[in-house]
Structure 1
């Protein structure tokens, strides 16, 4: 798995693997109690998207999976076929758990965004809407809009970013902080770039810094 690209929307974390564009679905729906991303993959309404992704990947799904009762009774087999078709993958570990800080980085560690169920990017916005709107697709979903925007920017960035230029981890927080704080984050980010830290390490360190500042304000 490549160095992850991580964005935050209120209490939700969006983690993207730039190697293939997959999104950590478990992390995306973590704050929505009782919402399991596998249930979204099982829905009748999700099947056309699954079939389209599998077709584009050159690994069409078996047509009998259109039968909802069959999907339910043979669920493990269905999920294995989705994995083989490049639609999902499972990474073991605790979702949004903790891992030790990288060498040379101060602090007790960072959040681990790798474990969980990962899904194809074409499913991410729909999953976000399903989780946030509790299946009522007519309701507005700020989270789904956020996911769509980030993924669109990510796609555009791949086409326009100069090769070799380090990506700014500070810009991930541009919509969350004021101008002065963003400037401080940029300065910290540059120091870490000079220190040879990866994008993910820098992003998680900056996020931990913001959480620390928020906690200090709350205790004041």
Structure 2
């Protein structure tokens, strides 16, 4: 592997491949006990990965837009991500040590290469999800640190921070009255707090409206 740039944020380690900017995601989130592969399966993550794949000239197959298909065929999904230049896997023990050379005292040096690496555009979002336990809209010092370091690495501005979650309730703004819309917004916030994606929240609000329709008819 090319030379690595290693940065520390408390006990967390940010390893960047200086050749292509890829980030060792497994090493970044290891202390949280979170799975990088789980984060890659989310709808919100997929939307960012589709943009990366398109920029790399290797669009992802449309079948992966179905989260159930992604989950059932995860090895194939991960292979397509690797082919699109979004991830790569380096064998070894994440956060382990490489042995010292023969005749050299000591336990060797820490291995920053082993693990699942991700495109830099995914790194800050991953850090936020891991640190905030899925509540990706909450402040995340680690995500801010990752974003800042990557911006300095590229000499540009920090652009990787995910935006605040899009409102699912506004989808129905032209279909319901003000009181109902306010109730939908409150329910949407509860779903956001539960870590649900935009599509999941839209579907839940649609079900709620369908349930309320007979009640209004009986009134």
Q: For residues 93 and 64 of structure 2, what CA distance do their matches in structure 1 show? A: 30
Structure 2 gaps of 5+ residues are 157-219
Per the alignment, residue 51 of structure 1 pairs with 50
Per the alignment, residue 165 of structure 1 pairs with none
Q: For residues 23 and 103 of structure 1, what CA distance do their matches in structure 2 show? A: 30
Q: For residues 101 and 21 of structure 2, what CA distance do their matches in structure 1 show? A: 24
- Bigger radius of gyration, 1 or 2? 2
Shift of residue 99, structure 1, vs aligned partner: 1.4
Is 1:67 aligned to 2:66, yes or no?
Answer: yes
Per the alignment, residue 32 of structure 1 pairs with 32
Structure 1 gaps of 5+ residues are 158-220
Count of matched residue positions in the alignment of Structure 1 and Structure 2: 156
CA contact (8 A) 2:97 2:107 kept: no
Per the alignment, residue 139 of structure 2 pairs with 140
Is 1:111 aligned to 2:110, yes or no?
Answer: yes
Per the alignment, residue 207 of structure 1 pairs with none
Per the alignment, residue 8 of structure 2 pairs with 8
Per the alignment, residue 216 of structure 2 pairs with none
Is 1:85 aligned to 2:75, yes or no?
Answer: no
Moved over 4 A (4+): 101-107
Per the alignment, residue 17 of structure 1 pairs with 17
Q: For residues 5 and 106 of structure 1, what CA distance do their matches in structure 2 show? A: 25
Per the alignment, residue 188 of structure 1 pairs with none
CA contact (8 A) 2:125 2:136 kept: no
Q: For residues 67 and 114 of structure 1, what CA distance do their matches in structure 2 show? A: 32
Is 1:125 aligned to 2:124, yes or no?
Answer: yes
CA contact (8 A) 2:2 2:18 kept: yes
Shift of residue 109, structure 1, vs aligned partner: 1.7
The superposition leaves residues 66-124 of structure 1 with CA deviations (integer Å, 9 ceiling, x where unpaired) of 11111111111111000000000110000011113469987432101010000000000
**Aligned 1:169-208 pairs, distance under 5 A:** none
Q: For residues 67 and 104 of structure 2, what CA distance do their matches in structure 1 show? A: 49
TM-score, normalized by length of structure 1? Answer: 0.68
TM-score, normalized by length of structure 2? Answer: 0.68
Q: For residues 101 and 138 of structure 2, what CA distance do their matches in structure 1 show? A: 42
Could you say what secondary structure the match of 2:117 adopts? strand
Could you say what secondary structure the match of 1:64 adopts? helix
